[in-house]
């Protein structure tokens, strides 16, 4: 009987030992987790090895984040620090190297709060209406919801003035931004004109916050024009716009494209154009925060 007890005890010890061993192996695996790489360059080359002399595998973009799997330093080279990242499925390779000079270890919009205002809404205020009946209120809301998702992925706190097709008075929209203490206030619109030929992208600012309002608007406009590829109508003074002249933080109002233009109404109806608008606005916001938000 004694030997049976001894065997049971021995098995118990082996069981404890093996589970301890598993725990140690797991801890070692987690030790290889080297965190996230948040891309800070608008376009960054991914290479097959840690140096600019290695072949290019593809590109990653500002605001995107990737898991770091390895790091490499070679102080004899111009770009000495490199990180190896795991790549998404649309790449032919599962891993690649990027220069650490254009990578941050924290989310670029961590600690930043943004009030987003999808223009118009509700049964009485559709905004501009396109030749086939697409409404500005619908486009503004959909782009804003896409933008909200992208901004939250980058660590931002987002406050929406509306999240459904409801009527919200202008003063209430401004109050959302004021009462939440948002760092910036961005109103999303699509343009309208009696002239069907009018087209392109424009952004309004008010100059009550000095250069910050202007730079916010300019960052959004530049990035939108890059992403949407429509005519650049520029950054315009919007001191007459209630949303801008009543806001208590840097604010901008974007007109993505013209609802009333045949080509642009079609573009504004597509998922691709709406997602490009949200991506463009995201990169514009990140660029503004990096360069002008203190
Ligand atoms: Zn509008």
Alpha carbon of 136 to ligand 1 centroid (Å): 7
Closest CA to 281 of 270, 271, 289: 289
Count of Cβ atoms closer than 10 Å to residue 91 Cβ: 15
How far away, in angstroms, is 259 Cα from ligand 1 center? Answer: 10
44 Cα to the center of ligand 1, angstroms: 35
Number of Cβ within 10 Å of residue 118's Cβ equals 29
Tokens of 278: 């949200």
Calculate how far, in angstroms, residue 120's C-alpha sits from the geometric centre of ligand 1.
Answer: 6
The CA 209 to ligand 1 mean position distance, Å, reads 23
Instruction: Give distance in angstroms: CA of 155 to centre of ligand 1.
Output: 28
Tell me, in angstroms, the distance from the centre of ligand 1 to residue 118's CA.
9
Give the end-to-end CA distance of the chain in Å, rounded to a whole number.
Answer: 76
Inter-axis angle of helices 271-292 and 211-228, to 10 degrees?
150
- Model pLDDT, residue 4: 56
Check: CB of residue 258 under 8 Å from CB of residue 224.
no
The CA 126 to ligand 1 mean position distance, Å, reads 9
3-state secondary structure of 169: coil
Distance 181 CA to ligand 1 centre (A): 24
Could you tell me the two tokens for 91?
């790449």
- Phi, psi of 37, rounded to the nearest 5 degrees: -110, 115
pLDDT for 218 equals 97
The length of the chain in residues reads 294
List, in order of start, the domains of the chain with CATH numbers: 36-104 (2.30.30.40), 113-292 (3.40.630.40)
The token duo for 284 is: 């514009």
Residues 6+ apart with CB under 8 A from 28: none
Query: From ligand 1's centre to the CA of 28, what distance in Å?
Result: 55
Distance 119 CA to ligand 1 centre (A): 5
What distance in angstroms lies between residue 21's CA and the mean position of ligand 1's atoms? 63
Q: How far is the CA of 110 from the centre of ligand 1 (A)?
A: 30
Please list all protein residues whose beta carbon sits less than 5 angstroms from ligand 1, which is an ion. 119, 127, 189
CB atoms within 10 A of CB 113: 17
Q: How far is CA 170 from the centre of its chain?
A: 26
Ligand 1: distance of its center to the CA of 267 in Å?
Answer: 17
Q: Give the pair of three-digit tokens for residue 193.
A: 């004109």
Provide the residue-wise pLDDT of the chain in tens; the chain has 294 residues.
455 565 555 555 555 545 544 444 444 344 456 788 998 887 899 999 999 999 999 999 877 889 999 999 988 888 889 999 999 888 899 999 999 999 988 888 999 999 999 999 999 999 999 999 999 999 999 999 999 999 998 999 999 999 999 999 999 999 999 999 999 999 999 999 999 999 999 999 988 777 889 999 999 999 999 999 999 999 999 999 999 999 999 999 999 999 999 999 999 999 999 999 999 999 999 999 988 876
């Amino acid at each position: 009987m004694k030997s049976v007890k001894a065997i049971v005890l021995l098995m118990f010890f082996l069981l404890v030992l093996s589970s301890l061993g598993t725990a140690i192996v797991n801890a070692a695996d987690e030790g290889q987790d080297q965190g996230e790489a948040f891309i800070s360059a608008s376009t960054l080359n991914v290479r097959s090895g840690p140096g600019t002399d290695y072949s290019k595998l593809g590109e990653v973009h500002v605001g995107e984040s990737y898991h770091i799997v390895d790091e490499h330093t070679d102080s004899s080279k111009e770009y000495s620090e490199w990180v190896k990242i795991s790549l998404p499925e649309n790449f032919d390779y599962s891993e690649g190297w990027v220069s650490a000079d254009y990578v941050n270890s924290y989310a670029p919009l961590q600690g930043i709060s943004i009030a987003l205002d999808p223009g118009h809404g509700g049964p009485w205020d559709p905004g501009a209406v396109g030749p086939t009946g697409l409404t500005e209120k619908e486009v503004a809301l959909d782009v804003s919801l896409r933008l909200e998702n992208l901004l939250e992925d980058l660590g931002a706190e987002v406050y929406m003035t509306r999240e459904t097709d409801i009527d919200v008075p202008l003063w209430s929209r401004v109050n959302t931004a004021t009462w939440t203490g948002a760092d910036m206030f961005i109103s999303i619109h699509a343009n309208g004109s009696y002239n069907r030929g009018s087209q392109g992208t424009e952004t309004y600012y008010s100059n009550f916050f000095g250069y910050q309002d202007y730079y916010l608007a300019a960052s959004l406009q530049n990035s939108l024009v890059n992403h949407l590829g429509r005519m650049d109508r520029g950054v315009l003074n919007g001191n007459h716009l209630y949303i801008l002249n009543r806001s208590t933080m840097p604010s901008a109002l974007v007109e993505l494209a013209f609802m009333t233009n045949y080509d642009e109404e079609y573009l504004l109806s597509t998922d691709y154009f709406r997602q490009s608008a949200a991506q463009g606005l995201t990169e514009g916001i990140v660029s503004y925060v990096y360069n002008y938000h203190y």
